Amino acid sequence: MISSSAAVGLTALILVYALFKRSTRPSLSMIRGPPSPSFIFGNLLELFQRPVGEAEFAWQSQYGNVVRFKSILGGDQLFISDAKALRKILNIAGDNYVKPHSQNVLKRMLAGKGLFWANGEVHKRQKSILLPGFGSKECKAFLPIFKDCADSISTKWMETIESSNSQGVVINVLDRLSRGALDAMCHAAFDVQLNTIQDDSHPLGRKYRNYLLVRDLFAVPSAEQIFMQASLKYIPEGIVMWLIENGPGSRLARMRDVTNVVSDLGKEMVQERATALLESKGDTGIFTLLIKANMDANAKKRLSDEELLAQIHTLLLAGQESIGTTTSFILLELARNPKIQSMLRDEIRRTEATTRERGSPHLTATDLEAMPYLNAVLKEGLRFHPIGTTSLRMAMHDDILPLSKPILGVSGEMIHEVRVSKGTEIMISISAYNRDKDLWGEDAHEFKPDRWLDGTMDGKESPGVGVYANLMSFYSGPQACIGWRFALIELQAFLSTLVGKFEFAMTDKAERIVRMPMFVMGSMVEGEFDRGVQMPLAVSLASQNSEL
Ligand code: HEM
């Protein structure tokens, strides 16, 4: 156990080192930003203990898309949501902006030395191995798997409604959606059928579900936890990793526990399947790509054993949390906006009817792609509720960031470009970019799928960031989400199936949903934070005739 005097000593060392480092770094003092309520915590408590967007949107509205705020011990950090600056950081000069080790140690602990963690050449090698598995054709081929998972979720919800003997029932929709996303990921990428939708007994299902989000891991961190997390940058990576791997505390123990379960499953899958997969010719399945790279004779293309397990872990983590949470936030918006929900259901029913007429049992990927309202709802959901809300990057060299729109400096002068010096940490705000009124309109803070259909978005100059619909939700540049096509098809399958069959309405608890910043954004009910993440909606069978 680490004694309290050792903790005090470590904190004192951090303090001295942080103050020394700060005095040697050129300041960003020309840039305006919010007053810091505390020298120790800076503005971090506003960002990490309050709902997502509360501080960010207020800063964006008052200071613009580049804001200086305080991290711990008076250190300056930049908060950026300006499209041109983001393009420079992520697309043009990506090699200069790396994931800082304060974040990377956690990512390494959560998912090993995989894509989430990797920087530079290691990242390029790892990504080039996996990319062929995430092409458009490859992802479309997963549609039957996604559809099966959506049908299984429907069956479970149907059983709950029938057993309640009432028209509708309150269901925490996030639960089965997360299980469905985990099952879909395992089946599509690794050909393993967990069936956690039906049965909660699989160890991975039980341990993994909502792993990142539950209260004992990342939800609503205490001030001390926020301080420790921010101070990791002042401690060498090796020491931090040792502390994470050996340190006391229930959060660390839980993280280690889950990592062990995933590693065991990964090793089992590799042992069982490696020989058969290696013999398969021309197979670009995700697991095959990983196994073949692990055996590659060329060291420059090889994936080590440790990296192979890390990719499995990374994909399970990324594929599950993201889809379950995004779908449940979109269902929340549909419950808040019955007219939008009804219009979407009408489009689903019309398309299903056409599909039946041509003798096809299910909507195909082409059908889903051709549904304007479904895709408008999806884009708006991703814009409004991007589950990865921020991402940290650190400048390796001095640089100049161009701006789409000048900002007012502290002395009243207009600033057209921002000078960043080596070591500057940048908080990329995905959520603020996605609400920038210059890009999305004066009603950017409204959930309005019509903006994608009524010409509002036409004729606007492309901001040049993002991989889908100019949104930052899947990030941008070489480190953008590898699974974005996979995610879109899965979201289309989940939404079209579930909204076609069920009607979603608000509940008292749903009125109290707040979006809390965790590793990814989570939905919690005000007054019930001790219950972790949830999305309690009233679910009933949708009437067969829903035309408005
Ligand atoms: C709605 C769904 C999803 C959203 C909004 C989303 C969002 C993101 C974001 C914002 C990042 C960048 C994180 C950062 O560097 O700070 C990212 C990276 C990543 N995502 Fe997703 N994601 C989604 C679904 C998926 C799925 C389904 C998979 C896997 C099948 C996946 C795999 C990954 C991986 C491996 C990375 C790391 C990529 C790299 O560093 O090159 N994601 N995702």
Whole-number Å distance, alpha carbon 319 to ligand 1 midpoint, is 8
Whole-number Å distance, alpha carbon 164 to ligand 1 midpoint, is 38
Q: Are 171 and 535 in contact (CB under 8 A)?
A: no
pLDDT at 2: 46
pLDDT at 213: 59
Whether this prediction's pTM lies above 0.90 is answered by yes
Whole-number Å distance, alpha carbon 524 to ligand 1 midpoint, is 22
- Ligand 1 atom 16: the closest Cα is on which residue? 391
Whole-number Å distance, alpha carbon 185 to ligand 1 midpoint, is 13
pLDDT at 19: 60
Q: Is the dihedral of CA 434, 435, 438, 441 positive or negative?
A: positive
- Ligand 1 atom 6: the closest Cα is on which residue? 474
Whole-number Å distance, alpha carbon 115 to ligand 1 midpoint, is 10
Closest CA to 174 of 524, 528, 529, 543: 524
pLDDT at 14: 65
Q: Are 406 and 30 in contact (CB under 8 A)?
A: no
| CA atoms of 42 and 34, how far apart (whole Å) | 10
pLDDT at 470: 95
* Low pLDDT (below 70) residues in the chain: 1-27, 208-217, 281-282, 459, 545-548
Residue 481 assigned as binding residue: yes
Q: Mapped to the 3 state alphabet, what secondary structure does 226-289 carry? A: HHHHHHHHHCCHHHHHHHHHHCCCHHHHHHHHHHHHHHHHHHHHHHHHHHHHHHCCCCCCHHHH
pLDDT at 258: 83
Q: Which of 330, 481, 486 to mutate to test the pocket of ligand 1 (most atoms within 8 A of CB)?
A: 481
Whole-number Å distance, alpha carbon 495 to ligand 1 midpoint, is 20
Pocket residues for ligand 1 (CB within 6 Å)?
A: 115-116, 127, 314-315, 318-319, 322-323, 326, 386-388, 391, 473-475, 479, 481-483, 486-487
Q: Which of 108, 125, 322 to mutate to test the pocket of ligand 1 (most atoms within 8 A of CB)?
A: 322
**Tokens encoding 106:** 């956690």
ipTM: 0.99
| CA atoms of 418 and 403, how far apart (whole Å) | 8
- Ligand 1 atom 42: the closest Cα is on which residue? 483
Ligand 1 atom with the smallest distance to the CA of 486 is 27
Closest CA to 85 of 392, 405, 444, 389: 405
